[in-house]
C-alpha cells in the first residue's frame, strides 16, 4: 500500500497539468501531454504501483505510437513489464522488458538500458532463477557505472549481494 501512497503524491502534482490548455504559450514552454504521461508511467514503475501503470501506460503507449516516439514507447513497455511481473505474469513481463531493452540498446541509452536490465534481473529473481538474475544485474551494473549513475549502481550492487553475487 505504501507505493500507492508514494504515487498518489506524484499523481496529485502532475494530473492538474494535463488539464491545462497547451495554447497559447506566452512565456517558455509547457510540457507536452506525452511528457506528463511518461513521467507518471515511469514514476509508477519506480514505486511499483501496478494499478497506476495499468491506468497510464496505455495512454503513454498510444501517444508514443502516434508520435513515433520510440524512447517513450520503450518506457511504456518497461512499465508494462513491471506490472506483469507484479501480477505474476512472467512470460508477458519478459516480452515487454525485452522490447524495452532492444530499443534502449539500439539508441545506446545506457542508463535506460541499465534500468531495463535490472528489471529483467528482478523478473528472473521472481522466477527463482538466481543465475540469470545475477547475469542481468551484472550487465545493469556495467551500464550504470558507464554513465556514473551511482544511486542505481548502489541499488544494483545490493541486489547482486542478495543474490550471492
**Are residues 43 and 95 located together in one domain of the fold?**
yes
| SS3 annotation, 10-70 | HHHHHHHHHCCCCCCCCCCCCCCHHHHHHHHHHHHHHCCCHHHHHHHHHHHHHHHHHCCCH
Instruction: Check residues 32 and 87 and name the one with the higher pLDDT.
Output: 87
**Are residues 91 and 65 located together in one domain of the fold?**
yes
**Are residues 101 and 88 located together in one domain of the fold?**
yes
Instruction: Check residues 79 and 31 and name the one with the higher pLDDT.
Output: 79
Structural domains in the chain (count) = 2
For residues 79 and 44, the answer to whether their CB atoms sit within 8 Å is: yes
Q: Which has the minimum average pLDDT: 31-35, 77-81, 88-92, 107-111? A: 31-35
**Are residues 65 and 120 located together in one domain of the fold?**
no
**Are residues 56 and 85 located together in one domain of the fold?**
yes
| Helix 130-146 × helix 150-162 angle, to 10° | 160
Looking at every residue in the chain, the average pLDDT score rounds to: 87
Residue-wise pLDDT for 22-65, tens only, equals 544 444 444 577 888 898 899 999 999 999 999 999 999 999 99
Instruction: Check residues 15 and 77 and name the one with the higher pLDDT.
Output: 77
Domain boundary among 87, 107, 127: 107
**Are residues 95 and 130 located together in one domain of the fold?**
no
Residue-wise pLDDT for 128-154, tens only, equals 999 999 999 999 999 999 999 999 999
Domain region containing 157: 109-165
- Tell me what pLDDT residue 67 has: 87
Asked whether residue 25 is assigned to any structural domain, the reply reads no
Domain boundary among 107, 126, 148: 107
**Are residues 98 and 117 located together in one domain of the fold?**
no
Residue 7 pLDDT > 70, yes or no?
A: no
**Are residues 49 and 117 located together in one domain of the fold?**
no
Asked whether residue 78 is assigned to any structural domain, the reply reads yes
Asked whether residue 147 is assigned to any structural domain, the reply reads yes
Asked whether residue 35 is assigned to any structural domain, the reply reads yes
- Tell me what pLDDT residue 18 has: 57
Amino acid at each position: 500500500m505504501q507505493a500507492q501512497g508514494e504515487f498518489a503524491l506524484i499523481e496529485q502534482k502532475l494530473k492538474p497539468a494535463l488539464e491545462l490548455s497547451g495554447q497559447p504559450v506566452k512565456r517558455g514552454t509547457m510540457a507536452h501531454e506525452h511528457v506528463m504521461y511518461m513521467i507518471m508511467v515511469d514514476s509508477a514503475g519506480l514505486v511499483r504501483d501496478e494499478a497506476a501503470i495499468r491506468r497510464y501506460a496505455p495512454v503513454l503507449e498510444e501517444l508514443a505510437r502516434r508520435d513515433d516516439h520510440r524512447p517513450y514507447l520503450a518506457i511504456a513497455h518497461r512499465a508494462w513489464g513491471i506490472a506483469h511481473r507484479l501480477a505474476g505474469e512472467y512470460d508477458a513481463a519478459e516480452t515487454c522488458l525485452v522490447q524495452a531493452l532492444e530499443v534502449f540498446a539500439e539508441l545506446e541509452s545506457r542508463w535506460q538500458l541499465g534500468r531495463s536490465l535490472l528489471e529483467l534481473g528482478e523478473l528472473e529473481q521472481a522466477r527463482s532463477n538466481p543465475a540469470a538474475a545475477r547475469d542481468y544485474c551484472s550487465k545493469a551494473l556495467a551500464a550504470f557505472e558507464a554513465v556514473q549513475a551511482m544511486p542505481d549502481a548502489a541499488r544494483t550492487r545490493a541486489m547482486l549481494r542478495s543474490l550471492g553475487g
